[in-house]
Amino acid sequence: MKPGWHICTVCNYIYEEALEKNGVKAGERVDFHSLPESWKCPGCNSAKTMYLNCTCAELPKNAESAQKAH
């Protein structure tokens, strides 16, 4: 699980705390739980309650390159 990642169950948009500020890539950490309840998904405009902690896996950079080569 990637800490600080949350996924929209409607459109699969991934909110990454380390990079987002109200749906805009900001380069500073914005804790998902500190967003107001009125916050909407930047991907589909769904409510914050439609998000779950993301249990996504990420391939190492060298594994991604190896897959593209095959």
Structural domain boundaries in the chain: 5-69
CA distances 19 to 9, 14, 16, 50, 70, Å, are: 20, 11, 6, 20, 31
| Contact call for residues 38 and 23 (beta carbons, < 8 A) | no
**In percent, how much of the chain has pLDDT > 70?**
60
**Is the CATH number of domain 5-69 2.20.28.10?**
yes
Looking at residue 45, what is its pLDDT? 96
Of 32, 67, 30, which Cα lies nearest the Cα of 50?
Answer: 32
Q: For the whole model, what pTM was predicted? A: 0.65
| Contact call for residues 44 and 13 (beta carbons, < 8 A) | yes
